[in-house]
């Protein structure tokens, strides 16, 4: 391996985080949400590791589900956005996929396809106003799905807009709306909770939870790290110092000369850039570690490189030293904050360019 940039993914951490989600909602079955390449961690590798244990997987769309089946995944797979074209229903039947259903076109196309689907997750728009039917329409859809004779079971599903904000009343309102819909339908399983709701809200007993970000050890809450909420961060992005130079006070660095040395110090150049998924908007001061010591970004992020300095100017960085961009003691949530985004975005924007290394527990690293 030439370029020393590695994303180390701890599969055991993901399994332990899945178990933690189930422990928090012990009456529920749980999806492992592996859409968007398992939030950048590698959907096939992650799903293979979890396949024997999970109740089911969830992805956004059918092509993600087919890729998992082709990789030998046998657990049920739910399409969270349902199908985009009527022909996909036949493929759902063929592969045994479960599907969300959220509009009349999907219902019509399902009926026209005559496909048999084991579980349909009917999406209720309980207030997010992005996908789903309202509470008056939901019972009509449930009846149509049952009457079609094509569907084994209908589950009522919704998604929260503000579950990560405990002070926002929207989640309570969405839950109340959901319960009204559920009562008007009668006996139906529920699926409402993403990571934030699993961790902090009281959600309906039984049914299905849908943990995503927490599986990867990343906090769904602003200003709190995954570790601080009992999770095991799964990804460590690390690289090496590939060049060093002495700066004089006032020297300026990188594109736009966006960093100015406050005093004489050694600057290190590290092999990682926005071409790998490291955020271009990360500001001077974004935390990282060099050789286990606190360091930070000093200069604008390039496509293939960043320039950095030690927090303590006296501790000089040296060629070949290990640099942790996130993971371990460098919370990805904090890096994201310096780049004006969230941990979700940093990991899902990882490119195929770093070397991906899969380990099973911290001992094997
Ligand atoms: C419908 C649905 N359920 C569950 C999830 C998982 O959410 P989180 O990653 O916040 O746990 C998502 C992610 O966006 C989603 O769209």
pLDDT score recorded for residue 364 = 47
Across-strand partners of 219? none
As a 3-state breakdown, the chain gives helix, strand, coil percent values, each rounded to 5, of 30, 25, 45
User: Burial level of 257, CB count in 10 A (0-12/13-18/19+)?
Assistant: exposed
Query: Is the minimum distance from the CB of 34 to ligand 1 under 6 angstroms?
Result: no
Ligand 1 atom 8: the closest Cα is on which residue? 212
Residue range 289-299, pLDDT digits in tens: 999 999 999 99
Q: Which atom of ligand 1 is nearest to the CA of 344?
A: 9
> Using an 8 Å Cβ cutoff, are 219 and 231 in contact?
yes
Determine which one of 22, 35, 123, 200 is catalytic: 35
Closest C-alpha to 181, from 146, 138, 145: 138
Secondary structure (3-state) at 67: helix
- Is pLDDT above 70 for 8? yes
Over residues 192-207, mean pLDDT: 93
pLDDT at 276: 98
Q: What is the pLDDT of residues 97-111, one digit of tens each?
A: 999 999 999 999 999
The average pLDDT across 302-319 equals: 96
Question: Is residue 35 annotated as a catalytic residue, yes or no?
Answer: yes
Residue 157: per-residue pLDDT: 98
pLDDT higher than 70, residue 227 = yes
Which pLDDT score is estimated for 223? 83
Q: What is the largest CA-CA distance in the chain?
A: 77
Packed helices 170-185 and 138-147: angle between N→C axes, nearest 10 degrees: 40
Element (DSSP H or E) covering residue 152: strand 151-157
pLDDT digits (tens, 9 = 90+) for 123-152: 999 999 999 999 999 999 999 999 999 999
Ligand 1 neighbourhood includes 212 CB (under 6 angstroms): yes
Q: Where are the alpha helices (DSSP H) in 150-257?
A: 170-185, 195-200
Residue 116 exposure: Cα atoms within 13 Å on the Cβ side: 3
Question: What is the Cα–Cα distance from 254 to 268, expressed in whole angstroms?
Answer: 12
At residue 362 the predicted structure's pLDDT band, cuts being 50, 70 and 90, is low
Distance 35 CA to ligand 1 centre (A): 9
Distance of CA 142 to the CA centre of its chain: 30
195 CB under 6 A from ligand 1?
A: yes
Question: Tens digits of per-residue pLDDT, 247-281?
Answer: 999 999 999 999 999 999 999 999 999 999 999 99
Rounded to 5°, the CA angle 178-114-130 comes to 30
Closest CA to 208 of 23, 40, 55, 19: 55
pLDDT for the residue 230: 96
Of 167 and 75, more confident: 75
pTM comes to 0.96
Does the C-beta of 82 come closer than 6 Å to ligand 1?
A: no
pLDDT at residue number 272: 98
Whole-number average pLDDT of the chain: 96
Residue 163 and residue 197 in contact, taking contact as beta carbons nearer than 8 Å? yes
Confidence band (pLDDT; 50, 70, 90) for 365?
A: very low
Is-contact 286 335, C-beta < 8 A?
yes
If one counts every other C-beta atom within 10 angstroms of the C-beta of residue 365, the result is 11
End-to-end CA distance of the chain: 17
Instruction: Please give the domain boundaries of the chain with CATH numbers for all domains.
Output: 11-219 (3.20.20.10), 235-364 (2.40.37.10)
State residue 360 phi and psi, 5-degree precision.
-120, 80
Tokens coding 60: 């956004």
């Amino acid at each position: 391996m030439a370029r020393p940039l590695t994303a180390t993914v701890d599969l055991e951490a993901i399994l332990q985080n899945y178990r933690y989600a189930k422990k928090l909602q012990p009456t529920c079955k749980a999806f492992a949400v592996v859409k968007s390449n398992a939030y950048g961690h590698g959907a096939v590798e992650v799903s293979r590791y979890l396949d024997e244990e999970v109740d089911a997987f969830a992805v956004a769309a059918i092509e993600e589900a087919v890729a998992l089946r082709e990789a030998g995944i046998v657990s049920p797979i739910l399409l969270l956005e349902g199908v985009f074209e009527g022909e996909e229903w036949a493929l759902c039947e063929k592969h045994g996929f479960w599907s969300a259903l959220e509009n009349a076109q999907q219902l019509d196309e399902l009926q026209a396809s005559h496909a048999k689907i084991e579980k349909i997750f009917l999406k209720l728009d309980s207030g997010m106003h992005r996908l789903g039917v309202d509470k008056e329409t939901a019972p009509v859809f449930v009846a149509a799905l049952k009457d079609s004779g094509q569907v084994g079971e209908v589950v009522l599903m919704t998604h929260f807009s503000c579950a990560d904000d405990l002070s926002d009343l929207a989640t309570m309102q969405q839950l109340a709306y959901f319960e009204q819909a559920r009562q008007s339908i009668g006996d139906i399983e529920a699926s409402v909770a993403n990571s934030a709701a699993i961790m902090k809200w009281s959600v309906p007993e039984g049914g299905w939870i849908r943990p995503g970000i927490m599986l990867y050890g990343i906090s769904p809450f602003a200003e709190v790290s995954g570790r601080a909420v009992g999770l095991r961060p799964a990804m460590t992005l690390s690289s090496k110092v590939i060049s060093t130079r002495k700066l004089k006070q006032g020297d300026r660095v990188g594109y736009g000369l966006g960093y100015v040395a406050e005093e004489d110090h050694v600057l290190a150049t590290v092999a990682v850039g926005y071409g790998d998924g490291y955020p271009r908007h990360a500001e001077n001061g974004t935390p990282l570690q060099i050789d286990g010591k606190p360091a930070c970004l000093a200069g604008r992020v390039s496509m293939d490189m960043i320039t950095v300095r030690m927090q303590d100017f006296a501790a000089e960085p040296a060629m070949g030293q290990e640099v942790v961009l996130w993971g371990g003691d460098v919370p990805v949530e904090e890096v994201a904050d310096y780049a004006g985004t969230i941990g979700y975005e940093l990991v899902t924007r990882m490119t195929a360019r770093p070397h991906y290394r899969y380990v099973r527990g911290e001992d094997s690293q």
